[in-house]
Amino acid sequence: MTNRILVVDDESIVTEVVERYLSLEGYEVKVTGDGAQALTVAGQWHPDLVILDLMLPEIDGLEVCRRLRQYGSVPIIMLTAKGNETDRIVGLELGADDYMVKPFSPRELVARVKSVLRRAVGTNQSTDNALHYDDMIIDAAARVVTIKGRRINLTAKEFDLLYFFASHPDEVFTREQLMNRVWDYSYSAEYSTVTVHIRRLRVKIESDPIKPRFIKTLWGVGYKFEGEDYAS
């Protein structure tokens, strides 16, 4: 089935190039130039991934991201201005899965789109049993996490990161390794997205995010998932 991608940017030169490159890869693409229309199209068309610029008329990209996260976990790749680090961090905190800084390579954007979609499909096709840690169950096939029977609302990349951690208990990973293994590529020494995703995960799965039970920090080294999978 052809993946649907919604591109949201008010710069026509950007949307034309991105649409052309994505269409050549076989994706079904829709383009919109403002935030209000983006929310309408997303609600009616149900894209598999959204490429979202932060600077938009009507409703800005951060608010679009926030509203999309209220209703689902569609992967979101943000487009941000160079040096606008604060907005990038806020976007990640709101639930964006990744970001690219303008100007960017269309080929790199396509590679990141493929990476996000490939990981989602790969996890969905997993035939492994669900992972069980204490009261937490991670169901790879359904991409669902429950704790004490309550479903936890994770974004696509949050689920990918948690599943990767839980599949490698007690192994220590640097942020660079996590970027390579979970995102399938590496930034030029910019790994804040890993830090933000781990912080968000802790808020959602830990009873006390300040003193985490599962995702531990090894200062100066990296992170590890601690626990015994007793029913895998």
What are the sequence ranges of the domains in the chain?
4-122, 126-225
Q: What is the pLDDT of residue 127?
A: 43
Q: How far apart are CA 207 and CA 157, in angstroms?
A: 21
Pairing mode, if any, of strands 4-8 and 76-81?
unpaired
Q: Give the architecture (CATH level 2) of 4-122.
A: 3-Layer(aba) Sandwich (3.40)
Q: Do 4-122 and 126-225 share a fold?
A: no
CATH for 126-225?
1.10.10.10
- For residue 97 the two structure tokens come to 């899965």
In a 3-state reduction of DSSP, which class is residue 217? strand
* Model confidence pLDDT, tens digit, residues 121-132: 654 444 456 899
pLDDT of 21 strictly over 50: yes
More confident residue, 137 or 191: 137
On whether the CB atoms of residues 226 and 170 are closer than 8 A, the answer is yes
Residue 66's H or E segment, with its range, is helix 61-71
SS3 53: strand
**pLDDT tens by residue, 137-158:** 999 888 899 999 999 999 888 9
| Long-range contacts, 175-178 (Cβ 8 Å, 24+) | 175/222, 175/223, 177/222, 178/222, 178/223
From residue 68, alpha-carbon distances to 46, 76, 102, 169 in Å are 11, 9, 22, 32
pLDDT tens-digit map of 43-53: 999 999 999 99
The CA-based angle 1-20-15, given to 5 degrees, is 105
